Structure 1
């Protein structure tokens, strides 16, 4: 080997050591950086053209794509289960459990107790007033449950809009990075950083919509949802959504009053059973808005209907005529079965007995249709009103089965159904979270080990010293030759 060849070889070794030190330093500095992937410098022997030395082939990112894919799917499942479980918990809190003094069942008990108290002293105006206000509190509690359900739907709609914007931005980000990666040289120092940025965008997408990554030529990737929708194949799709300012009980995706999703202008299914983008936080919000909350709305409307119909019966209050509204009303109107949707939001105490609307509470004792006060000691109607709460009757709507139920039984059944669904969602969320945590640990175990990286720095230091020694020796030999 000539002196120039030795010098060239040592210089190439110095360059490789310098580049390797940069890579190792970057690994140590980014050991805790989210989305960062461990790199190593790929080198080989270079003997082309008579030169001998070290060839830098590029920087290798060490990733286990299968682990990353599994971790993304687990993260999407965790987000989906977390969102749906939170929605069910919120609805359960609105209805309340029977042992909760602020629950709907407790309001019924309070109303029943106020009627019993009033029937023991029907001549006491303060007891009649207390019974009227207990009835009003019950109606307002049902109003509050219905309003809370609609608030959950409205918030879900707003969340969908926000996530769609993020999704479009992230897809465009992947498209842009694909183009830059394809245009980069394999030795480009920025290439691993571009791939890290792309991985972070894909992680963000997969949290909202679980995706599968398909490698393409020259480092590009394509993205498909687990449901089979094309999200990025060369170019990113445009996800469309029209938000609603306020979601009401009368709006649904089925009748077109609420927006679904479009991909490049083409509508896609968003249901939990067959949704093309289902499984992440975006799909969870559609399930809350279009399935979980409407089901709860159906049940609370059925409770309101049962309450109204119980007190519209002329056998309970003989002063009621055909078509007259009873103690509880649909915004001061009698019950109309064809207008049950949203009934819980419109439920109110009959203005004839509501002190806040100028009503007379003696009608609780003498009948809504009475024109003048009757016998002050007659508790017949108050007893009948108490009994009707405990009367079992089949439900005309809702999902309560065919068995006759009292009003409290209806509410307890609703609370039990929601609680069962919430417990099931909690179990599924716990399983998904445990799986996600485990896969995170597996992914981190394959990441940067600072102890190993420091050892690599020591090896690079030795290589630098050896190459520097060669350069020093060649320099001395050149000096000797020049002195001859």
Structure 2
């Protein structure tokens, strides 16, 4: 029924509703700069009016309203934009991971610097050329030994730096896996809290924001798929290249839920049971990311291994070709006459097992440069310079240098035609479709530069796309201080108006109660 008390109740409800709306506005303003926060809105609706059809209702002109109430406090969020942003996060994370380490690999090769491998290769052949024209000078022999040692030192350094980078990449992947597992545990906990709040009939807006932020971060690490469940729950899963799905988070049950595991030795990522603490874990499932930082870093590991193999191929082509002409033999010997040797045990293995990491100039030659063979005969004292010239001319010989020369263990392994030797000067002919030693290294540097530039270009493109999507999401979910201040003034006026009604009703009641006593 209507009356002053009914009017009072309507005003009180209005006061309460406006106060709630002011609280929501205050919360929005307070979190204007909070990462991942979605602005919230108080939705108001009329309360149940008087005059609903019943046996006892008096007939009147119409239903009398009973006021207003806040029906819900919802966050403003576009799920489709979330999906697009997470997909773009994965692509950006992949290319950022590649660019980060490829740029470091490019710096390691340092192919255009005065002390880089490219320059030193040229200086080595120049020194042999100078030796061929002045074989009688001890200084020219010394320069050959020094320049060659500088080249092997640079190859050693480059190889070791690549190995260090590969180790750094390994460590980053390991830390990423730790971080991912921690975030998955947080999402799991938030999932359960959200469900409990939803079951209680409330909206866990801030909890859902925290979960969404974690899912955004996870999408940068690897490709995630999200299935929405009842009461705000979510299932998170990964899908392999064959389309098989594995659950990382479940809303209703942890049965079969997995976590990531990284084996540094095999450099493989596996999925293991969530609570498996065994090292190594039981029954791991091999998993290869299809996007995200993990994919980028794992690709870079392969890239670094490839460049190490190319550097090994370069070292072998230098060592085997120079040694063959210097020794006058198409086959390896015990290392006594080898110019380039394996530093790990040169006295017994000579050049066997030589890599960019262990190649060096024979210590016997470093100690006594007269051991350098410069003439056509076997006697190192010969000074006609023809052998030194033949080595200098290796600069222009094209070798069939594979990117991975693990299977090449002999001087003839590159497929070049070798003639002469022992009693006559050995010569190496160019191979069809081959590459010079200097050209091969230049190609390594150029390929790396192209690969790095492509990663950089792709990163920039994805950054632009992601920025556009983030801007769209901010325009929907972000807090506009101007808009919130306008809402605050609106709610303030409504609050004041409801307070005025209460004050007016109070005066009327005072008039009725106290006025009747007079």
Common fold, TM-score beyond 0.5? yes
Q: CA separation in 2, counterparts of 1:402 and 1:57?
A: 81
2:400 to 387, 394, 404: 394
Checking the alignment, whether the CA contact within 8 Å between 1:352 and 1:368 is kept in structure 2 is no
SS in 2 for 1:207: helix
8 Å CA contact retained: 2:375, 2:386: no
Alignment map for 1:147-166 (pairs within 5 Å):
147-166=160-179
Instruction: Please show how residues 58-137 of structure 1 align to structure 2 within 5 Å.
Output: 58-97=72-111, 99-137=112-150
CA–CA separation in structure 2 for the residues paired with 1:433 and 1:450: 26
- Can you list the C-alpha shifts for 1:241-270, whole angstroms capped at 9, x where unaligned? 3454xxxxxx6x3xxxx4432232554444
Query: Is the 1:320–1:369 contact (alpha carbons within 8 Å) kept by the matching residues of 2?
Result: no
Match of 2:390 among 372, 384, 387: 384
Distance 1:445 1:10, change over 3 A: same
1:409 aligns with 2:439: yes
Q: Distance in 1 between matches of 2:329 and 2:233?
A: 79
Paired residue secondary structure (1:32): coil
- Asked if the contact 2:261–2:272 (Cα under 8 Å) also holds between the matched residues in 1, the reply is no
CA contact (8 A) 2:73 2:203 kept: no
* Partner in structure 2 of residue 317 of structure 1: 327
Whose Rg is larger?
2
User: Aligned residue for 2:309?
Assistant: 298
* Conservation of the 8 A alpha-carbon contact between 2:129 and 2:388: yes
Give the SS at the match of 2:404: coil
Equivalent position SS for 1:63: coil
Say which is worse superposed, 42-51 or 108-117, in terms of deviation: 42-51
- CA–CA distance in 2 between the matches of 1:176 and 1:80? 28
Q: CA deviation at 1:414?
A: 1.7
When normalised by structure 2's length, the TM-score is 0.81
Corresponding position: 1:374 with 2:381: yes
CA RMSD between the two structures: 2.8
- Separation in 2, partners of 1:48, 1:329: 98
In structure 1, the residue matched to 2:62 is none
Q: Give the distance between the partners of 2:390 and 2:259, measured in 1 at CA.
A: 59
State the partner residue of 2:509: 478
- Match of residue 327, structure 1, among 323, 339, 345: 339
Secondary structure of the 1:260 match is strand
Q: 1:411 to 1:167 in 2, by over 3 A?
A: same
Give the CA deviation at 1:49.
Answer: 8.4
Deviations 1:50-100 (A, max 9, x none): 892322222110000111221122122112101112222222222233x43
* Residue of structure 1 equivalent to 2:496: 465
C-alpha separation between the residues in 2 aligned to 1:288 and 1:431?
20
Partners in 2 of 1:5 and 1:367 — Cα distance?
A: 119
- Of 25-34 and 400-409, more deviation after overlay is shown by 400-409
* Counterparts of 1:45 and 1:95, CA distance in 2: 72
Q: Which residue of 2 aligns with 1:239?
A: 259
Residue-pair matches, total: 455
Structure 2 segments unaligned to the other structure (5+ residues): 52-64, 274-281, 406-413, 415-430
C-alpha displacement of 1:455: 1.1
- SS of residue paired to 2:236: strand
* Cα distance, 1:202 vs structure 2: 1.2
**Per-residue deviation, residues 289-347 of structure 1 (Å, max 9, x unmatched):** 2x21111122111111111110221x4433898524321122223444xx57xx22121
So what's the TM-score if we normalise by structure 1? Answer: 0.86
Q: Distance between the aligned counterparts of 1:194 and 1:310, measured in 2?
A: 67
Secondary structure in 2 aligned to 1:378?
Answer: coil
CA contact (8 A) 2:376 2:384 kept: no
CA separation in 1, counterparts of 2:157 and 2:326? 28
Distance in 2 (alpha carbons) for counterparts of 1:482 and 1:16: 29
The 10-residue stretch of structure 1 (381-390 or 74-83) with the greater mean CA deviation from structure 2 = 381-390
> Are residues 1:56 and 2:89 paired?
no
